């Protein structure tokens, strides 16, 4: 029997309660094997960050309703409490944030911040933890690492900070790395360096990665598989190759048309006319219909059917289902 | 850091000189004859001139200022016109008492303020927050001399637990650390602590709420820190600002305690200032204000240096 997947997410829903409810994630399911890189690709507000944060349970507890199942390494993440949850965070799963300037504590040195995580998870002396921090800074190829250990975040450049953030995230050898648009805040040339570094470290550490981006060029660069997300749901999944060569969903086509011609990392998805829907209610029909040039009455009447080749290759669109039926 | 401190000290020198100039000028812009309170109303012109000479009022202003400054630098602030005693001695005694009162009040106010502010910020928008914020609003808005009188009525008059006035048994103004003296300190210190408590609580609440809403707190949780680990980060982030607010509050208490010192007859600088004003004792007034103003300058310097030392984001160059 083959190994069970590292990550199993089943029908995940996330709703923010408030004066206005936000149905941020509406039935997301996927699995991820050890050593695999999955990219979640989608426009701003599609629920990518919320999906990632759920894997670490970082959403404000009292204002969110989370439904469905999330298992990492066989453990039920949604049921974790107290120390068990804290061991999961940073130990099994860790995260790189979009803007390292905001995600690092401004009044602690880089070394302190990395060492703190090591001490927390491995119960080593602070000297040993500092030594690990130094080792990690060297692994992410920060020049004069020993000196950077004592630097504060504001004393480093954006690229250096993101390297430090990666060092922090990998310091405890997590099984799963969550990368939330780790290059969006950086210059184009620095972006590529960071992407290369991430891919290299992923192979070296053999960890799984869920990578979030709205940049299809970046997605192609780093991932084995891609899931296209729209309005809180996946609309199409497949291998990177399948998504680029045989995309079925009109939204995916739109993303490709906007970006793949001369795809460069750093380009934004802006060529699809219209804006994503406000998620004040859970969609009951195809959420992309208002922007879809193939939209039919049936698209606006009910949720589109799913055409599934196999577990990891499917698309949720009337067109694909019809094509299948007529074939 | 050392260079920064040295330069910061250097910068305060002109400020101090300015302060001295203003204090000196006070005597001369205030209307009326400075000798009026020492001379009998029917004093002869000859006596008046001699007194003018003794106090040096017959020389030019520049000369007078330089002489006065030179003496002040040596710790001689002249003699009180009313009592004839050296102003420096009077002021130093009073400064000691005021400092004692202000420091104790600030410590009480800072501790309680941090506690309330922290709890309120941490449990923001819950009933705990509302209660803690309510207490701090009261702290800022209650007139403290009124609170002082209420406390005196309760604890001195009704319950007879604590003395109402003075800084020690038998009106002695020399401070000793024993229960008899501490008893005298409690009511004025508690009364005085209410304002810094309210202000510190409000500041700390806003600080903590702001820090907790920042993304790096998610970052801390994401690396697996438990609540107490996150708390340590919040404290370190809040400390520089909270301490700066505390320093400034201490400054205000040092200068602004006339009302409370009068209510409790606490022999401090506020009390002394009151006396100097009502008795038109200009050398005493001049000396007291000079010392208080210099205190403020030094305190600001300290706050700056400490804040810079604590906060790596502040540029030290
Ligand atoms: N803490 C929160 N409280 C309320 N609403 C939230 C919260 N976090 C996210 N949302 C809402 O959930 C939706 C999805 O947000 P999410 O951050 O996942 O988008 P995203 O796909 O990561 O977009 P971006 O590319 O801009 O990061 C948005 O409408 C957002 O306003
Ligand atoms: S279901 Fe209909 S509206 Fe939705 S993407 Fe497919 S064709 Fe377009
Ligand atoms: Mg996001």
- Please report residues of B whose CB lies closer than 8 A to that of A105: 216, 219-220, 233, 236-237
What is the spatial distance between Cα A174 and Cα A177, in angstroms, rounded to a whole number? 7
pLDDT band at A208 (very low <50, low <70, confident <90, very high): very high
What is the spatial distance between Cα A102 and Cα B216, in angstroms, rounded to a whole number? 6
Nearest CA to A99 among A143, A55, A154?
A154
Question: Tokens 């606490």 map to which residue?
Answer: B266
Mutate to test the interface with B, among A60, A100, A108, A167 (most CBs of B within 10 A): A108
Q: How far is the CA of A317 from the centre of ligand 2 (A)?
A: 5
Note the maximum CA span of chain A: 67
What is the spatial distance between Cα A167 and Cα A112, in angstroms, rounded to a whole number? 12
**B216 inside 8 A of chain A by CB:** yes
What is the spatial distance between Cα B20 and Cα B69, in angstroms, rounded to a whole number? 8
What is the spatial distance between Cα B286 and Cα B283, in angstroms, rounded to a whole number? 5
Atom 25 of ligand 1 has which residue's CA nearest to it? Answer: A44
Mutate to test the interface with A, among B125, B224, B311 (most CBs of A within 10 A): B224
Higher pLDDT, B69 or B215: B215
Query: Is the pLDDT confidence value at A269 over 50?
Result: no
What is the spatial distance between Cα B43 and Cα B39, in angstroms, rounded to a whole number? 6
Query: Is the pLDDT confidence value at A288 over 50?
Result: yes
User: CB distance A89–B224 less than 8 Å?
Assistant: yes
Atom 6 of ligand 2 has which residue's CA nearest to it? Answer: A317
Q: Domains in chain B and their CATH numbers?
A: 2-73 (no CATH), 92-316 (1.10.3720.10)
Structure-block tokens of residue A64? 């969110």
Among the partner residues A94, A106, A108, nearest to B222 by beta-carbon distance: A94
Calculate how close chain B gets to A296, using CA atoms only, in Å: 42
Query: Is the pLDDT confidence value at A277 over 80?
Result: yes
Half-sphere exposure of B223 (CA within 13 A, CB side): 31
Nearest CA to B207 among B248, B229, B240?
B240
Question: Tokens 């050392």 map to which residue?
Answer: B2
User: CB distance B223–A90 less than 8 Å?
Assistant: yes
Q: What residue ranges line ligand 2, CB within 6 angstroms?
A: A 250, 286, 288-289, 292, 294-296, 299, 304, 317-319
What is the spatial distance between Cα A133 and Cα A127, in angstroms, rounded to a whole number? 10
What is the spatial distance between Cα B61 and Cα B67, in angstroms, rounded to a whole number? 10
Q: Measuring CA to CA, how many Å separate A159 from each of A171, A196, A226, B112?
A: 18, 13, 25, 43
Higher pLDDT, A178 or A193: A178
The DSSP code for A143 is: T
Q: Domains in chain A and their CATH numbers?
A: 7-104+175-277 (3.40.50.300)
Question: Tokens 């291998």 map to which residue?
Answer: A239
Predicted pLDDT at B263? 81
User: CB distance A120–B218 less than 8 Å?
Assistant: no
pLDDT band at A250 (very low <50, low <70, confident <90, very high): very high
- What are phi and psi for residue B79, nearest 5 degrees? -110, 145
Residue A105: how many other CB atoms lie within 10 Å: 23
A189 three-class SS: helix
Atom 1 of ligand 2 has which residue's CA nearest to it? Answer: A317
Question: Tokens 């990550």 map to which residue?
Answer: A7
CA of A249, nearest ligand number: 2
What is the spatial distance between Cα A282 and Cα A47, in angstroms, rounded to a whole number? 13
Window from A75-84, A178-187, A259-268, B194-203 with minimum mean pLDDT: A259-268
Q: A299-308 long-range CB contacts below 8 Å, 24 or more apart?
A: A307/A248
Predicted pLDDT at A215? 86
Predicted pLDDT at B35? 65
The helix or strand, by DSSP H or E, that contains position B135, with its residue range, turns out to be helix B127-141
**Cβ of A40 less than 6 Å from ligand 1:** no
């Amino acid at each position: 029997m083959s190994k069970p997947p590292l990550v199993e997410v089943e029908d995940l829903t996330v709703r923010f309660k408030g004066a206005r409810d936000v149905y941020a994630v509406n039935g997301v399911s996927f699995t991820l094997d050890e050593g695999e890189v999955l990219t979640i690709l989608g426009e701003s507000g599609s629920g990518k960050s919320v999906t990632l944060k759920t894997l670490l349970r970082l959403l404000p507890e009292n204002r969110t309703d989370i439904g469905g199942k999330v298992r990492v390494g066989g453990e039920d993440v949604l049921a974790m409490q107290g120390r068990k949850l804290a061991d999961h965070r940073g130990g099994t799963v860790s995260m790189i944030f979009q803007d390292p300037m905001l995600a690092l504590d401004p009044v602690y040195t880089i070394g302190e911040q990395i060492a703190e995580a090591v001490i927390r998870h491995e119960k080593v002396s602070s000297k040993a933890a500092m030594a690990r921090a130094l080792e990690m800074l060297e692994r992410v190829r920060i020049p004069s690492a020993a000196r950077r250990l004592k630097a504060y975040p504001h004393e480093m450049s954006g690229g250096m900070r993101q390297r430090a953030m990666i060092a922090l995230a990998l310091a405890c050898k997590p099984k799963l790395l969550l990368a939330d648009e780790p290059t969006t805040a950086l210059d184009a040339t620095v972006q590529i360096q960071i992407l290369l570094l991430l891919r290299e470290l992923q192979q070296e550490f053999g960890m799984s990665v869920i990578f979030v981006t709205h940049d299809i060029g970046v997605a192609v660069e780093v991932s084995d598989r891609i899931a296209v997300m729209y309005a809180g749901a996946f609309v199409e999944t497949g291998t990177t190759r399948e998504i680029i060569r045989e995309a079925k969903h009109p939204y995916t086509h739109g993303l490709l048309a906007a970006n793949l011609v001369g795809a460069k990392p750093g380009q934004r998805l802006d060529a699809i006319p219209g804006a994503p829907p406000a998620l004040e209610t859970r969609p009951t029909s195809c959420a992309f219909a208002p922007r879809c040039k193939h939209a039919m009455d049936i698209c606006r009447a009910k949720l589109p059917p799913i055409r599934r080749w196999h577990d990891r290759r499917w698309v949720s669109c009337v067109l694909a289902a019809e094509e299948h039926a007529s074939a | 850091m050392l260079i920064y401190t040295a330069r910061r000290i250097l910068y305060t020198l002109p400020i101090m000189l300015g302060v001295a100039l203003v204090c000196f000028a006070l005597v001369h812009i205030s209307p009326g004859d400075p000798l009026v309170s020492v001379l009998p109303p029917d004093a002869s012109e000859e006596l008046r001139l001699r007194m003018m000479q003794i106090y040096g009022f017959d020389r030019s202003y520049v000369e007078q200022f330089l002489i006065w400054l030179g003496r002040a630098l040596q710790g001689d602030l002249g003699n009180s016109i009313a009592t004839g005693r050296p102003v420096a001695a009077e002021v130093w005694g009073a400064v000691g008492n005021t400092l004692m009162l202000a420091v104790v009040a600030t410590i009480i106010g800072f501790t309680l303020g941090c506690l309330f502010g922290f709890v309120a910020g941490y449990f923001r928008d819950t009933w705990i927050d509302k209660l803690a914020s309510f207490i701090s609003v009261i702290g800022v808005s209650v007139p403290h001399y009124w609170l002082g009188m209420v406390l005196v009525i309760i604890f001195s008059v009704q319950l007879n637990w604590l003395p109402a006035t003075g800084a020690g048994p038998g009106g002695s103004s020399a401070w000793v650390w024993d229960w008899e003296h501490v008893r005298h300190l409690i009511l004025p210190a508690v009364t005085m602590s209410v304002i810094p408590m309210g202000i510190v609580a409000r500041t700390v609440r806003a600080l903590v709420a702001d820090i907790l809403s920042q993304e790096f707190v998610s970052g801390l949780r994401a690396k697996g820190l438990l609540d107490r680990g996150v708390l340590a980060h919040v404290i370190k982030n809040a400390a520089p600002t909270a301490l700066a607010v505390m320093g400034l509050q201490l400054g205000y208490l040092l200068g602004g305690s006339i009302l409370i010192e009068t209510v409790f007859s606490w022999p401090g600088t506020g009390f002394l200032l009151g006396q100097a004003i009502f008795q038109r004792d200009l050398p005493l007034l001049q000396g007291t204000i000079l010392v208080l103003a210099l205190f403020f300058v030094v305190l600001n310097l300290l706050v700056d240096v400490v804040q810079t030392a604590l906060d790596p984001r502040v540029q030290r160059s």
